[in-house]
Amino acid sequence: MTFITLIRHGQTDWNLARRIQGSTDIPLNEKGRADAHRAAAHLAETPHDAIYSSPLLRAKETAEIIAAELGLELAGVVPDVREREFGEGEGMLVSDYISTYGDWHAEVPGAESLHDVGVRAIAALHAIARDSRRRSAPRAESVLVVAHGGVIRSVIDLVSGGTLPRDGEVIANGSAHRFEASPGSLRLLEETLVI
């Protein structure tokens, strides 16, 4: 088995403004860099063997900060843990998006469904786990993956059978969600909000 901890990237100016980023490549702001350092301090409590990242700048920068703090090298950039494509909703304020489309599950022209995001992300996590098991057999490995709020929400939704996250629950910048991956299975073990 492989332990995978999904970490949401640090804050960006668009997060602060409550603007939908999606695939728009927005960098971290100063608070976002501090979020990454706090996440690293929390993650230092247990050993980790590798760190991976979404290709988007905000996730890569978060991963680089965490990697430097924990003495890890960035093991790879994983395109399928990138944020959800929001299509015509990209760049909108969250309040405008909700008033225009109704909710996060609405069909928006050019946008990915939350389900599709979860499916692609879970497949990517299983690929990371398979690679980790090949490199570290027979022991379990602990892997960090820096991703995005929409990705983490979608993965949690699928692995919990739709019972989590609860309505209105925020996937905070710098939060960590630990999973256990084994062949054909991904299970949520714990979630930690890093404040």
- Say whether 177 is catalytic: no
From the candidates 37, 61, 83, 90, which is the catalytic residue? 83
From the candidates 9, 42, 126, 148, which is the catalytic residue? 9
| Residue 23: Cβ-neighbour burial (10 angstroms; 0-12, 13-18, 19+) | middle
Calculate the CA dihedral of residues 166, 168, 171, 172 and round it to 10 degrees.
Answer: -140
Place of tokens 């403004």: 17
Residue 153: Cβ within 10 Å count: 22
Q: Decide: 176 and 149 in contact? Cβ < 8 Å.
A: no
- Say whether 9 is catalytic: yes
Catalytically active residues, by annotation: 9, 83
